Each structure stands twice: as structure tokens, then as C-alpha cells.
A = this chain, B = another copy of it.
């Protein structure tokens, strides 16, 4: 079963294979399943970019998308995620894409459902297709990850991609540093990269990867940090001028303009923010193809009549 749950669960070889496939799709490769296939996108949290991106990817692959409205589903009647996915499996859905606010929501699904689960974001945990599209954007720019320095700056602890990007980049040969408010950083990140002051990080990196402030995941009051954030930790017009030649700016979006990045820089020549979005479609095509291809020898179909056995 080719779930995609986290970047950490992918070997370096698997990551490279997905990026290769994504590049092929970007260059025009066509692939469609031999038979009609159905997919459902279960988004239990608001999303424009990721959900739409999956929709485009699915339709480019010729899949039929079954709409799912979390606010109008039987989840309101108390149905569990497991029962919801098993229901979709029973009616013929071949893969599910899920975003859910619970960390590791997929633990109740893996090994118990017969269709692949593609994680589109869980809690503060993982967001593997975002990581993969970040990697594709860097690879596209620099050809290789070896020797590249990447600065991950901002709301590190609430980000779904900081840890997994740092981990994957390190495995692929890049050097990672973190920056931003110390309150939003902790030592568990030191395994994949050291902490640098924001000016050094911005001036010496090939990739300046800004993170969105995840207000919606902050428990307490963070207004003290937010107010001066742009001057203290943001990519100001002044700081951009000191970036290395050839270096690029990334951000997972949606951008808080004039907070993480100056409004004028969002679409400047260094920015790859909208390129990241475009790349996301092709990464998702690759991930879905991988899921559907390996689904063949999966669990028993639900319609296979189980032999009756006497309970004892």
C-alpha cells in the first residue's frame, strides 16, 4: 500500500523517484490509469492552494473526483475518520487525500483500510507534498542539493514542513540552518541544522525559505512577536539587497504580506513563491500515480464475500 504519510518515511531514492516523475509531468508526460478511478479529497481544515492543486493534479490524470464537504458529512453524526474512509473505499473510491488538524490522524487508518492515504497535512506534523514541491523547486534551480545552503526562517515549531524539509534536505546533501524567534524554535531541530541569526542566514544562503506565521496554531498570545516581526525577522527590502547573487526566496503561502516578507518582494525576480505553487501540481500527480500503481495487489476488495465462520 503506497500511502504517503510523511517525507521521513520516504527513502532518498523514493524522494528522487517522485521528483523525477514530477519533472516528467512538468515537461509534458501524460499518464492516465487504464480504467476509471475515483479519488476523494477530505479536507477538515480550510485550504485553497493545496486542495485546488490536488484537484488539478487529479483531473490532469483523468481521475474522477468525488466531492467531500467536511461540514456537511456524516462526521457531523459522529462518524469516525476510519468509518468515513472505509465507506469511501466500499463505494469504489481508489485513494483518499486527507488534511486533518490531528497530528498523526493516519495512525487509525494505516493497515486497516484498503486504499492509499495521501497526507495533505496533519496538525503541526507533516505535509509531505509541500516538502516535495519545495525540494523540486530547489532542484529545478540548482540541479543538485549538494553544497546548497538553505535557511528556514520563522515559525519553525508550528510549521508542517520545517522539520521534514530540514531532514530531507540534509539527507540529500544540503546544509540547513534555522532562524527566526527563539521562542518558536527548540533544540529538537538541532539534529538537522544549527540556529543562525537572521541577517547571517539571509546573507549566506542559496535558498531563503520563509515560513508562514501559523497564528491559528498558536495557543497563547503572540502579538508581542508579530508586531515587530517584519523588522526583526522578516525579509525586508533592505535584507533582500544583501542576499547572495543567484539565491532565491521561497514561502509555502498564503503569505502574510509585510510580515514574513515585504509586499514588493513577493513577486520579485528572486521569488519562487508562485513557481512553488505550479510545481505542487506536478508533485501531486507523481504522488497520486505512485499510490494508484501500487494499489493493485492491495487488500481484499470489500465485495469479496467472506466465508461465513461460526463465532465461538
Beyond A71-B72, A270-B308, is A56–B303 a contact (Cβ under 8 Å)? no
Q: A55 CB to closest chain B CB, in angstroms? A: 5
A311 to B270, CA, bound (A): 9
Give CA–CA (A183, B33) in the complex, Å. 53
Q: CB < 8 Å: which of B70, B74, B246 contacts A49?
A: B74
A69 within 8 A of B: yes
A291 nearest CB across to chain B (Å) = 18
Given contacts A77-B216, A254-B83, contact A91 B311 (CB under 8 A): no
Q: Which residue of B lies closest to A253 (CB)?
A: B87
Assuming the contacts A52-B91, A269-B306, A281-B92, asked whether A46 and B73 have C-beta atoms less than 8 A apart, the reply is yes
Q: Does any Cβ of B come within 8 Å of A76's Cβ?
A: yes
Q: How far is the CA of A43 from the CA of B67 in the complex (A)?
A: 13
Proximity string of chain A (52-77) to chain B, C-beta cutoff 8 Å, 1 when within and 0 when not: 11011001100010111111111111
In the complex, are the beta carbons of B73 and A64 less than 8 A apart? Answer: no
Which of A115-123, A152-160, A187-195, A271-279 lies on the face that meets chain B?
Answer: A271-279
By beta carbon, the residue of chain B nearest A75 is B48
Chain B residues contacting A67 (CB-CB under 8 Å) are 52, 55, 67
Contact, CB under 8 Å: B277 / A52: no
**Interface size grouping (class) on chain A:** 35 or more
Contacts of A268 in B (CB 8 A): 311
Q: A67-B67, A77-B254 are in contact. Are A277 and B87 (CB under 8 A)?
A: yes
**A47-B64 contact, Cβ under 8 Å, with A268-B311, A311-B270:** no
A78 interface residue, CB < 8 Å from B? yes
Q: Is the CB of A46 within 8 A of B72?
A: yes
Best-buried of A68, A243, A306 by chain B (most CB within 10 Å) = A306
- Asked if A294 is at the interface of the complex by the 8 Å CB criterion, the answer is no
CA A277 – CA B74 in complex, angstroms? 14
Say whether A93 contacts B309, CB under 8 Å.
Answer: no
CA distance A252 to B87 in the complex (A): 11
26 A-B pairs with CB atoms under 8 Å apart are A26-B303, A36-B60, A40-B52, A46-B73, A48-B68, A48-B75, A48-B79, A48-B87, A49-B74, A52-B87, A53-B91, A56-B64, A56-B91, A69-B72, A71-B72, A78-B254, A83-B253, A87-B254, A89-B274, A90-B278, A91-B277, A240-B311, A245-B308, A269-B309, A270-B311, A278-B303
8 additional contacts, CB 8 Å, given A48-B74, A90-B275? A38-B59, A52-B87, A52-B91, A56-B91, A78-B254, A86-B274, A243-B311, A246-B308
* Interchain residue pairs A-B with the least CB separation, the first 8: A90-B277, A48-B74, A48-B73, A79-B254, A90-B274, A59-B64, A269-B306, A46-B76
Q: Which residues of chain A have a CB within 8 Å of any CB of chain B?
A: 26, 36, 38, 40, 43, 46-49, 52-53, 55-56, 59-60, 64, 66-79, 83-84, 86-93, 216, 237, 240-241, 243, 245-246, 253-256, 268-270, 274-275, 277-278, 280-281, 302-303, 305-312
